[in-house]
Amino acid sequence: MEEYNEGLGVVYERLVLNDYLERLMKRYPIERVLEAPIYGMAGVTGINSVPLAQRGCQVTLIDTDAQRLKGVEGVWRELGLPCKLVHLPNLASLPFPDGSFELAWNWAALWYLDDVPALLGELARVSRSLVFVAMPNRWQIGYWLRKYLIDKGFFTQVDERWVEIERVKSALREAALEIIEEGVLDIPPWPDTVMPAAEVIKRLGINSKRLEQRFTGEGWRWSTMDYYLGRKPNLMEEVRRHTWLERLRVPWRMKLLWAHHRYLLGRKV
C-alpha cells in the first residue's frame, strides 16, 4: 500500500531502533510494555513497539487522537499481533496502577506535548523497572539544515527546549529515576531532514530530473511494513549496509555531529 512507503531514512531509523529494543530485552526481563504517546517518528504511526510484541511482550499503546488510533488498530490487525490501544487526550495522568509495566517509553514526541514533566513522571510511576526516552539531536547537521533552510515553519509548532537532553535528564531524575545509560542512535551516512530526499532537493531549489527520478518511483519504495509482513525479508540486511557509523567503536560523543537522535535509559530507584 502506498501509505506504507516511508522512505529509506525512516526505515533505517525504525530498524536500528528495533535492534536497540531487542538488546534491551536480552539484558532485562521485559514482559509488559507501554509506549506513550505513539507519535514522534515519521512514516507509519504506531508500529515502533512491533518488535517487542513479536517477541511476546504485552504491548499497550497510547495516542491523543482517536481517529489516528483507529488507523493504528487496522495496522496491528494486518500484522496479526495483539496490542491494547488507549485513547487519552491528556497525557498528564495515565490510567494504570503503579508499576504496571517493565518498560515505559517514547520516541521523539516530547516536544509536541503541553506538559512534558507530567508525562515523564507518569512513565516513571507506571514502570516497575525501565523508562526509555529519545529525542532529535540538535547538534546534528541535518537538524540545522531543516531549522534554518528547508522547514522553518515546523519549529514554530514544537517546544524546542525538549531537545536539550540535560533538561530531559533532569526531569527523569525528578521522577526518581536513575540514568543508567545515555547515547546516540540512528546514525546513517546522510543528514536528518525528516522529509523524502526528493522533497529536500526541491526545497533546496535544485532542478534535476535525474536526481528526482533517483529518489522516486516504485524502485525507491522503502517500507517497514513490507519487512514485518514478509514481503521484503531482506530489508534488514539492506539497511545494515548503511550502519557502519552506528557500529563504529568510538565514544558516542564523537558521533554527535551526525547522530539523528539522543537517548536516555532510566531505572526505578
pLDDT at 188 over 50: yes
pLDDT band of residue 1 (cuts 50, 70, 90) is very low
pLDDT band of residue 196 (cuts 50, 70, 90) is low
Q: What is the pLDDT of residue 216?
A: 56
- Domain holding 90, by residue range, is 2-268
pLDDT band of residue 269 (cuts 50, 70, 90) is confident
CA distance 262 to 232: 29
pLDDT band of residue 192 (cuts 50, 70, 90) is confident
Q: Would you give the DSSP letter of residue 135?
A: E
Provide the β-strand partners of residue 183. 263
Sequence-separated (6 or more) residues with CB below 8 Å from residue 183: 252, 262, 263
pLDDT at 68 over 90: yes
Parallel, antiparallel or unpaired: strands 32-35 and 58-63: parallel
**Percent of the chain predicted with pLDDT > 70:** 89
pLDDT band of residue 193 (cuts 50, 70, 90) is confident
Q: What is the pLDDT of residue 228?
A: 96
Number of domains in the chain: 1
pLDDT at 67 over 60: yes
CATH at 26? 3.40.50.150
- Which of the pair, 205 or 76, is modelled with greater confidence? 76
Q: What is the pLDDT of residue 219?
A: 61
pLDDT at 197 over 70: no
Q: What is the pLDDT of residue 221?
A: 86
What is the rounded average pLDDT for all residues in the chain? 92
**What is the SS3 assignment for 260?**
coil
pTM greater than the 0.95 cutoff: no
Q: What would the mean pLDDT of 66-92 be, rounded to a whole number?
A: 97
Locate 108 and state its grid cell.
Answer: 521523539
